[in-house]
Amino acid sequence: MGLDIVEMVMALESAFQVRLPDEELARIRTVGELYDCLVRQLGSDGATQSGLYEGAVWARYLDVIERDTGADRRRLKPGASFVYDLGLY
């Protein structure tokens, strides 16, 4: 994981008050996969289910990524690759 992505993960962990497991993060490649990991860590506090990309948690997640990376929110689709589509390393 590159520095851009590490900093983004740290911002998400801070914003949502969770710890995302390193072993899971090592396999994550897309915006949707990271969101699914986050929702699993939130458990019942997630107020949504993994794989459902809508609602307050999804919107807050996108806010954090957009603010931290400067990525255009319109490009933050579940299937978007952090490296190839968003240029993060």
Asked if the structure places residue 82 within a domain, the reply is: no
pTM for this prediction: 0.89
pLDDT digits (tens, 9 = 90+) for 5-32: 899 999 999 999 999 999 999 999 999 9
Domain annotation covers residue 43: yes
Task: Establish if 23 belongs to a structural domain.
Answer: yes
In a domain, 26, yes or no: yes
Domain that holds residue 40: 3-75
In a domain, 81, yes or no: no
Q: Please indicate, yes or no, if residue 66 is contained in any of the structural domains.
A: yes
In a domain, residue 85? The reply is no
Total domains present in the chain:
1
Question: What distance in Å separates the CA atoms of residue 51 and residue 10, rounded to the nearest whole number?
Answer: 22
Assess whether pLDDT exceeds 90 at residue 4.
no
